[in-house]
Amino acid sequence: MTLATDKKKISAYLDEPLLEWFQEYAKKQKRSVSSQISFMIEQLKDAEEGK
């Protein structure tokens, strides 16, 4: 995973049940919600780029 020094803040609207589910999922993975989102986006990016 690439480490970025310049991070940008984003905002998203999610249905509450979906957010609650994702918060629990991230907790099970021992990551913050922000870290889990970053991790999943990195995986998707790598898959799309064929890495």
If pLDDT is split at 50, 70 and 90, which confidence band does 7 have?
confident
Question: How sure is the predictor about 5, in pLDDT bands with cuts at 50, 70 and 90?
Answer: confident
More confident site: 11 or 2: 11
The mean predicted confidence, pLDDT, of the chain is: 92
What span, in angstroms and rounded, lies between the C-alpha atoms of 20 and 41? 19
Confidence check: pLDDT of 35 > 60: yes
Q: CB under 8 Å to 22, separation ≥6 — which residues?
A: 14, 33, 36
